[in-house]
Amino acid sequence: MSDVRWSTEQVHALAPDASSLAAARKLATGSGWSQEGAGGEPLSLWGLCKGSGATPYQTCVDVTEPAYKCSCPSRKFPCKHALALLLRWSAGTLATADQPSYVVEWHAGRAGRAAKKAARESAPRTAEQERAAERRAEKRADRMAEGVAELAQWLDDQVRQGIAGLDRAGYKHFDQVAARLVDAQAAGLASALRRLGALPASGAGWEDRLLGELGLLRLLSTAAARIDDLPPELADTVRARLGHNVPTEQVLAGPKVRDVWQVIGVRDEVEERLSSRSVWLIGRDSGRAARVLSFAAPGQALPVDLIVGTEIDADVCYYPGAAPMRALVAARHGDVRRLDRPGPAVFVARALSDVADALAADPWITRHPLLLQAAVVPGDPWRVVDAAGDALPLDPAAADPWPMLSASLGGLGTLAAEWTPRGVVPLTMFTAGEAVRA
């Protein structure tokens, strides 16, 4: 059993909302717990929590993934009881013990379901299924080619007619074309186009930003029309930008990169009623970055198996591309450990050089992880400043990182952030053994 417990901040990061966290903190310090403990393989936590009925709730947590189970009726994930149990473990309240039968049965059930899923995914397809898949792929390719050609013509018309009046056209001007791209199964292009609708309302200088984004979309449409002539890695990048999905099993069958992967930051977003979570990893030895991306429909919980401020010895598989960044965690080797100070952290100049290299390989990148030895400095705009005096402005849409400023006392710390064309988005400040989110 690992003797490294999570920090309170790491447990807080799991809460699905503020009310769940408040309820969990109250439960964690209450007297309603019994028959609780921690231990076993995989490392688990368990306990009985008194509820409103006669039978207490059975709550257990697999710390390794993490995964959760509770007999309460809550639809939130994790529920307040699982969060409270994690908080009690973080505070050192739980004693080491053998796993009770309901925890052992839970693990056995999960293992059985995982084995059945793996068997289904590895089962070979019949000849008829293969032919049907080929017909679907050909049909989608034809529809996508039509959509790309229509987008290219629309982009040329925007430049020919001028963009000066687009600040009065509103979102509808972009949404109409984006809807046709969705019909053409080019969802990636549709999302990129819809994001442009916000630029005319973003303040002074929107014309230059919009023209630059239109140019990148025109470059993408040209590349898509000549995809068979591109180098394989660049062709994979173009397909991904168009909206092609690479099956999970195909990614996991590719090369594996083993390292001690440090979870440095997470960013949640909502787009078109779909929630997404980007978790950024940095390899301690390789220095490589990986982005683990997940999605959830309204009312569903996003995965919480990678916790900011922890590290894990694991294999990572990258999606194909010219500058591979998106990845999946394959096999894990050992327990999750607490991360006090991630590395290697660099200065601003080196970080910008890394971003430039990535853009040279994939000009459509809109975010890139940064791990800086820097301070956050308030102002208009806020800035990230390193010891050499080099600075980067924050994205105007990012929240002012007052918690980071307070935790670092205005000094240097190890800052995880996202580079975007609009500025830097702070994610986590590592200082004094704590991981403080913006």
Q: Give, for all 438 residues of the chain, the pLDDT tens digit.
A: 344 677 787 788 788 788 899 999 999 998 899 999 999 988 899 999 998 888 999 999 998 778 899 999 988 888 999 999 999 999 999 999 999 999 999 999 999 998 888 887 777 878 888 888 888 888 888 888 899 999 999 999 988 888 877 777 667 888 888 888 988 888 888 888 888 877 776 667 788 888 899 999 999 999 999 999 999 999 999 999 998 889 888 999 999 999 999 999 999 888 767 888 999 999 999 999 999 999 877 656 677 778 888 899 999 999 999 999 999 999 899 878 888 789 999 999 999 999 999 999 999 999 999 999 999 999 989 999 999 999 999 998 898 999 999 988 889 999 999 999 989 999 999 987 788 887
| Within a domain: 28 | yes
- Note whether residue 188 is domain-resident: yes
**CA 280 to chain CA centroid, nearest Å:** 6
Domain identity same for 117 and 189 = no
Q: Within 10 Å of residue 188's Cβ, how many Cβ atoms? A: 19
pLDDT at 1: 39
Task: Tell me: do 141 and 232 sit in the same domain.
Answer: yes
Q: Which of these three, 242, 277, 312, is where a domain ends?
A: 242
Q: 111 and 12, same structural domain?
A: yes
Query: Domain for residue 33, yes or no?
Result: yes
Among candidate residues 400, 408, 403, 409, the one with its CA nearest the CA of residue 431: 408
**Model-level pTM?**
0.80
| Number of domains composing the chain | 4
Classify each residue of 148-169 as buried b or exposed e, where b means 16 or more C-beta atoms within 10 Å of its C-beta: bebbbebbeebeeeebeebeee
Cα distance between the two ends of the chain: 32
Query: Do 238 and 256 sit in the same domain of this protein?
Result: no
Residue 154 tokens, joined = 């629309």
* CA 79/CA 163 separation, integer angstroms: 49
Domain boundary among 122, 147, 166: 122
Q: Do 314 and 369 have their domain in common?
A: no
Q: Could you tell me if 426 and 438 are in contact, meaning their C-beta atoms sit under 8 angstroms apart?
A: yes
Residue 129 forms part of a structural domain: no
Find out whether 125 and 101 touch, Cβ atoms under 8 Å: no
Q: Are residues 262 and 312 in the same domain?
A: yes
**Is 1 within the bounds of a domain?**
no
Q: To which H or E segment does residue 264 belong?
A: strand 257-271
Predicted confidence at residue 291, as pLDDT, reads 97
**φ, ψ of residue 300 in degrees (nearest 5):** -100, 155
* Euclidean distance between CA atoms 89 and 5, whole angstroms: 7
Last residue of a domain, which of 313, 338, 363?
Answer: 338
What residue numbers bound the domain in which 158 lies? 134-242
